């Protein structure tokens, strides 16, 4: 099954700052369940096997989104480099919840999404 990939989508969040997301989904005439994936502490959306995981979810019939929290220590320009120590030092639970909301709002109206089937999963750090 062919998987569509949209990489480095800029998500705007007026409460925090802009951050990046990727979307993986199969070609489908039916609406797809949305899965939003959150990375671990000091992680990011492209770490380790996250692209492989995203592809497998899409092949299984999901619209899969992975994103980078706005204050995880990376930047729009360097999404795989832990270099923004000021942002990382100012991170908190409220900023992360705001980022979740921004991701959901960005993808919720997508015509490929079944709005009644949305899940959030994550790795390592409980949020």
Residue 127, in any domain of the structure: no
Q: Is residue 18 part of a domain?
A: yes
Domain count, the chain: 1
Residue stretches of the chain with pLDDT short of 70: 125-127
* Residue 62 DSSP one-character state: -
Encoded tokens for 88: 């990382």
Task: Answer yes or no: is 92 within a domain.
Answer: yes
Residues paired with residue 120 on neighbouring β-strands, in sequence order = 36
In a domain, 95, yes or no: yes
Cα dihedral 56/102/118/44 (nearest 10):
30
Looking up residue 83, the CATH number of its domain turns out to be 3.40.50.1820
DSSP tally for the chain: helices H, then strands E: 3, 5
pLDDT digits (tens, 9 = 90+) for 31-68: 999 999 998 777 779 888 999 999 999 999 999 999 99
* Domain of residue 42, residue span: 3-122
Residue 104 lies in a domain: yes
Asked if residue 106 is part of any domain, the answer here is: yes
């Amino acid at each position: 099954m062919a998987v569509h990939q949209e990489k480095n989508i800029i998500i705007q969040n007026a409460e925090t700052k802009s951050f990046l997301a990727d979307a993986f989904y199969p070609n489908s005439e039916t609406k797809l369940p949305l899965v939003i994936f959150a990375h671990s502490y000091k992680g990011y959306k492209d770490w380790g096997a996250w692209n492989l995981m995203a592809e497998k979810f899409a092949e299984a019939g999901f619209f899969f989104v992975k994103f980078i929290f706005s204050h995880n220590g990376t930047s729009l320009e360097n999404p795989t480099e832990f270099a923004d120590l000021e942002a990382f030092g100012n991170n908190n639970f409220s900023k992360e919840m705001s980022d979740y909301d921004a991701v959901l709002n960005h993808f919720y109206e997508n015509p490929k999404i079944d709005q009644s089937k949305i899940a959030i999963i994550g790795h390592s750090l409980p949020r």
